[in-house]
Structure 1
């Protein structure tokens, strides 16, 4: 997908913002890409069948009569036995394209999605029928359909690969251009990469109890594929509370070629665990990614709370204990939480931390740089949990590794810091050496393997800064002129985009106030 196409795709998508808020615009464009993807996959299979039944040399040859083999290629079994979803005629891309200029195209697309769900029970309830959000007088749906129709035979990669790339690109763009999103936080790819490389999933069950749009599940599958593993060596599971995000996750996984069980419906994991009878080998979770999980009026007695009952106004320790409870005997987990989880002082939470440390449930704590999220400048940390500190290397019982990674990364914009491959490799290698070698070193200002006695002396406060000490001062390198100008240009572009968003919101608010006044 060329940069020009990306820019044009984003510009057309951007037009939706004048008609609706950004969250709804995202649903529209991603939904259209998904329909095009399904239709193109179906079309590829249809072409294969056409060659099978229309060529006299084929064992499946039907007739020289076009009407005969046209009828043959519409037989559903040719598709479903090859795991291709059946797309009814009214939902195929060419049908929708032929009707794109009609004022009721939004309704027609919703009807197409309903037909796809009816024909494919695995998609029931997972397609977002939101296209009536676009006003019937608008031509933007027609423009988007025309634009997406240009992805096809002339592309070197093939349409389905490019559509998957477009879907991922837009997910990233919507997150990167909206510092405050309703519903939650976007998990930065570099953060997901750290979790995946530390846990290194290679087989068994992988679970994300608050999976968002499925990014951690996708990256887990890609990690296995990259390292030569078999795709069927892992089973992926996810649960998500927000109905719209749950649907986006289902579409994202299909379009990225990843099979996963997202449960029967969107649901609150802490209240309604949809995989209550399963334990997992690897768990990755970012409870920060959703603002919809709140403190409870009460936490009932539950075997999950083996380290202590969580407090009512903070879900951090409910998540940690739920995740630990879901691990198999040799399982491990990585959890993203705010830094407050390391230092909050209410007595019951101190007792939970103490119990987790003394039970060797906590393997590694990593603090990350601030501004790693666009949504908030607040710093976050990673909790790496394990059921067995004798697995994956030497016997590490009685030790916890603390890594202070706050000095890593570089600023990409005034609001965002990013960790590059070298930063991630530094963290990964530190973990690997500590896990496998008795000769690992503590590095002042960066990492330390702390004993139970060390942690007890610090009253079970777990911020790595308490253990690693201060790093030696470093001379600040002067920023090169070209690099500085590039950075400032990016910052200026970001500020211009945010100014445009604010202008649109101000106009909307003004119209609303005037309407209420009238």
Structure 2
């Protein structure tokens, strides 16, 4: 691992010599990552470079697409038919940009898609304009990335380390795309660890999907965790979709370097309005969708699908200002009937936003009444690069164990963190491996404690009952034609009656003694669900006695006076 880190640092520092002053450190990754990909592919193709060029030259006028022939002949999943590679480009310093463009155009469609979506054209133009393109190419050709020197696994680790450095350099800019590794490790431990028995044994194949996969960290770390902690022989197929073009390219290139299948990553497009894996079902789904991001640009599509009883959004939609719940609905739609597990990161909004009958409440009702919500874990604040707010991990599954059926486990993880020596954007805390393991143990034990509460599903539900009061004019109660009192709409109120309580008894006990002329309009009853997470773990702390506060203030006052005397005395 030290050699891997050393090579990653060497690549980064060598590029820094060329890029410094021309690009911000947070932009380095957009140059370094595609050049690492190209250098690695050059090394892999080196022995067959001329063969590929000749094959293309022979078949380009005979076949509309000579790609299948070339791929079969070279026995690799990619090729480059240009006569140039990075080393050969150096042989003609006067035409670096022209030859570099010719080299990029020579890649097979799967690699060209990656390079194109990195959007490196303006970066390369900028390097060339400032006479640094040749210098950068010269730096990268110094690195020996041949498979005989660095195998696929080691190359994947090098790339992952560079990706980590990029994410940390980006700080708050990276928060939209990079989920901190400690958060990912916690999430995947709950998703896969909760299914340990099913994953053990030989010949097992499982699929994992992330609908907004960013750079693919959740997918690759999830696979690594399952191999290291459950079953090293487990075959895991990774799938993802990503909207952002640059992170889409980073993810695909990471898969290429890790010897995963980059064709399983789709984009750049939204999973909500352009599902590239429509009809597919997955065994495990893990994701960190964007917080508080509007889905107004996709509203027409979502509202249209909402009309379909078999559609993803038929049960309801959240408010337009925050579309995070849409991703959970999307994932639930992709659950295998035989059983799937979902791990998703949310802010606090999906827990309680929306009154009974509104979109968010209807989605929670749908999830809880179907007994899919297994567990919610609250995380410490300041865990993410771009926000300091408290976040939550939801575990959703359609294959609960017998002990968990009809119940929801809530875990308070807000105190499980360690302060960082140096903040990375808004990230000032992290979870150690021991803290992650302790939280997982709390989950696995499934027993109530100071950090764990377990409630039946109906505990989170309530009936919203409308309470009316009579309309009074000139001291008299107004009535309708049938003699019933007319309601005063200005005094109309409502009560939330827990589902486990009788509405009539609740009304007589809690409302009627205070409003003897009131009545309930049961025709307006609505069932709602919310999870007031903080309330369940709140501990009342008595205020300090006034005498103690006064004594502390006097002590501070005396201390200030003493310091003043010492200063003046000097």
Please tell me the TM-score bracket, short chain as reference.
0.7 to 0.9
> Within 2, Cα distance between the matches of 1:275 and 1:28?
30
Structure-2 residue corresponding to 1:28: 31
> How big is the shift at 1:398?
1.3
Aligned partner of residue 378 in structure 1, secondary structure: coil
1:331-480 to structure 2, matched below 5 A, reads 331-347=340-356, 348=358, 349-390=360-401, 394-412=402-420, 413-414=422-423, 415-434=427-446, 441-444=447-450, 446-456=451-461, 457=498, 460-470=529-539
> Within 2, Cα distance between the matches of 1:260 and 1:218?
12
Structure-1 residue corresponding to 2:169: 177
Q: 300-309 vs 411-420, which deviates more?
A: 300-309
Aligned partner of residue 340 in structure 2, secondary structure: strand
Corresponding pairs, count: 430
Structure-2 residue corresponding to 1:109: 100
> Within 2, Cα distance between the matches of 1:217 and 1:308?
29
Structure-2 residue corresponding to 1:52: none
> Within 2, Cα distance between the matches of 1:290 and 1:311?
10
> Within 2, Cα distance between the matches of 1:178 and 1:427?
29
**Could you tell me whether the CA contact under 8 Å between 1:79 and 1:85 is conserved in 2?**
no
Structure 1 193/115 Cα, relative in aligned 2: closer, same or farther at 3 Å?
Answer: same
> How big is the shift at 1:263?
5.4
> How big is the shift at 1:210?
0.5
**Could you tell me whether the CA contact under 8 Å between 1:42 and 1:84 is conserved in 2?**
no
**Could you tell me whether the CA contact under 8 Å between 1:343 and 1:461 is conserved in 2?**
yes
> How big is the shift at 1:266?
1.5
1:139-218 to structure 2, matched below 5 A, reads 139-152=131-144, 158=150, 163-181=155-173, 184-200=176-192, 202=199, 203-218=205-220
> Within 1, Cα distance between the matches of 2:188 and 2:115?
29
Structure-2 residue corresponding to 1:316: 324
Structure 1 191/76 Cα, relative in aligned 2: closer, same or farther at 3 Å?
Answer: same
> How big is the shift at 1:249?
1.2
> Within 2, Cα distance between the matches of 1:380 and 1:465?
12
> How big is the shift at 1:79?
6.1
Structure-2 residue corresponding to 1:492: none
Per-residue Cα deviation, 1:114-169 (whole angstroms, up to 9, x for no partner): 2012xxx4335222361434332435444433433343289996276554334222
User: Unaligned 5+ residue runs, structure 2?
Assistant: 52-68, 200-204, 462-497, 500-527, 543-570
Matched, 1:247 2:244: no
Structure-1 residue corresponding to 2:42: 39
Of the candidates 65, 73, 78, which is equivalent to residue 85 of structure 1?
78
> Within 2, Cα distance between the matches of 1:107 and 1:471?
70
> How big is the shift at 1:368?
0.8
Structure-1 residue corresponding to 2:110: 122
Q: 424-433 vs 16-25, which deviates more?
A: 16-25
> Within 1, Cα distance between the matches of 2:342 and 2:329?
11
Q: TM-score, normalised by structure 2?
A: 0.67
> Within 1, Cα distance between the matches of 2:132 and 2:391?
39
> Within 2, Cα distance between the matches of 1:416 and 1:204?
35
> Within 1, Cα distance between the matches of 2:531 and 2:169?
34
> Within 1, Cα distance between the matches of 2:48 and 2:439?
45
Q: 256-265 vs 455-464, which deviates more?
A: 455-464
> Within 2, Cα distance between the matches of 1:261 and 1:462?
39
> How big is the shift at 1:422?
0.7
Instruction: Find the structure with the greater CA-based Rg.
Output: 2
> Within 2, Cα distance between the matches of 1:153 and 1:332?
38
> How big is the shift at 1:247?
1.4
Per-residue Cα deviation, 1:279-311 (whole angstroms, up to 9, x for no partner): 111111111289686564452224212542333
User: Unaligned 5+ residue runs, structure 1?
Assistant: 50-74, 435-440, 474-518
1:239-278 to structure 2, matched below 5 A, reads 239-262=241-264, 265-278=267-280
Structure 1 450/87 Cα, relative in aligned 2: closer, same or farther at 3 Å?
Answer: same
> Within 1, Cα distance between the matches of 2:265 and 2:160?
23
Structure 1 285/42 Cα, relative in aligned 2: closer, same or farther at 3 Å?
Answer: same
> Within 1, Cα distance between the matches of 2:99 and 2:7?
26
> Within 2, Cα distance between the matches of 1:402 and 1:30?
40
Matched, 1:326 2:334: yes
Structure-1 residue corresponding to 2:87: 94
Structure 1 401/264 Cα, relative in aligned 2: closer, same or farther at 3 Å?
Answer: closer
Q: 412-421 vs 199-208, which deviates more?
A: 199-208
Structure-1 residue corresponding to 2:126: 134
Q: Structure 1: which 4+ aligned runs deviate by more than 6 Å? A: 153-157
> Within 1, Cα distance between the matches of 2:232 and 2:449?
34
Per-residue Cα deviation, 1:170-226 (whole angstroms, up to 9, x for no partner): 221222122332782411111111222222184322111111111122223323443
> Within 1, Cα distance between the matches of 2:395 and 2:165?
29
Structure-1 residue corresponding to 2:62: none
